[in-house]
Amino acid sequence: MYLDDLTQLFGVSGFEKSVREYIQSFCKSYADDIFVDQIGNLIVFKKGTDHPAKKRIMISAHMDEIGFAVTDVTDQGFLKVRYMGGISNKVSLYQKIQFRKGVIGVVLSNGKEEDDKDFSSLYVDIGASSKEEAMSLIDIGEPASYIGPFTPLTGRLIASKAMDDRIGCYILMRVLSEMETPPMHDVFFVFSVQEEVGLRGAKVAVHTCKPDIGVAVDITGSFDTPGAANGFTKLGKGAAIKVMDGSVICDDSLVTFLCTYAASHQIPHQREVLARGGTDAGAIHLFEKGVPSCGISIPTRYAHSPVGIVDMADVGSCIYLLDGMIHSQSLDEKNPA
Ligand SMILES: [Zn+2]
């Protein structure tokens, strides 16, 4: 089991190096080609059959996680920070965070925040007693992530920081390493960078892959907790097949294919509509003349927190569905094979 290691690696947007190195060393023995592009995406190529109907499929899961970066240090040695990706004040208060070089701090507030996204009131206490001491320990711009240990809960539920989207990376690694026969299609497994700050890695990787079809493997909401917003997807109900989110309206025919395939292979699944937020599919589908794209998502409670929770049964369903897709001769909605 390597999901525990994967979630605990440091990988705030733009600083994904240790995640990339870990995944690269795991994937290299399974790849037909493996390389890192100039922005830091890891691209693992798996050659398909010689069938004339084969396609180029780009499957993207992002390596980066949300976090913070130091913007200033006060005379008393407290750090001011900005957010890297979608973080709320409410979630951050009283959390422990770890900077890339190892320094640990606690997030606090001066109590004057106007709204949940106003981070000017936040400060980080690393225990330094002066500006000089703090500056000797951290650099301006240094990133930090939540501390959130990998924790098995009841049943097949697990909690951790960075579940978004190390769980997607894990699914790609499982599909790559466990496939019994080569895929029907040429598959580019892309472990992308900087998704949380605007799908930046995928926008670059799509130029390398030049896909006929795009797939984002990422988390989605789980609307099954007290006071949850309206939403359909729930933990334990299977792989979530994206219909749309804030960044993409999925290709109708691919959505139908995935639903039909899942139903005919007894793979638990649910349709997904996410009111806000996006995935790498948002970048892929706009490439050149357009790329039919879809998403296979993992329902996740408390995303963008130190305690994102997924159900490993759903993860298994996503693995089966993705493996089925890349081995299917026809991705035709009417005739999935
Ligand atoms: Zn994500």
**What tens digit of pLDDT does each residue of 285-319 get?**
999 999 999 999 999 999 999 999 999 999 999 99
Q: Does domain 3-65+161-327 have CATH number 3.40.630.10?
A: yes
What CATH code would you report for 67-146? 2.40.30.40
* Domain extent listing, the chain: 3-65+161-327, 67-146
Q: Is 195 in the active site?
A: yes
| Cα of 65 from ligand 1 centre, angstroms | 8
Catalytic residue among 16, 65, 142, 195: 195
pLDDT of residue 114: 59
**Measured in angstroms, how far is the CA atom of residue 318 from the centroid of ligand 1?**
15
pLDDT per residue over 221-265, tens digit each? 999 999 888 899 999 999 999 999 999 999 999 999 999 999 999
- Measure 330 CA to ligand 1 centroid, in angstroms: 29
Q: pTM of the entire structure?
A: 0.96
Amino acid 278: pLDDT = 93
Distance 107 CA to ligand 1 centre (A): 23
Q: Do domains 3-65+161-327 and 67-146 have the same CATH topology?
A: no
Kindly list the distances between the CA atom of residue 44 and the CA atoms of 11, 34, 113, in Å, as whole numbers in the listed order: 19, 4, 44
Q: Smallest Cα–Cα separation from 41: which of 62, 57, 12?
A: 62
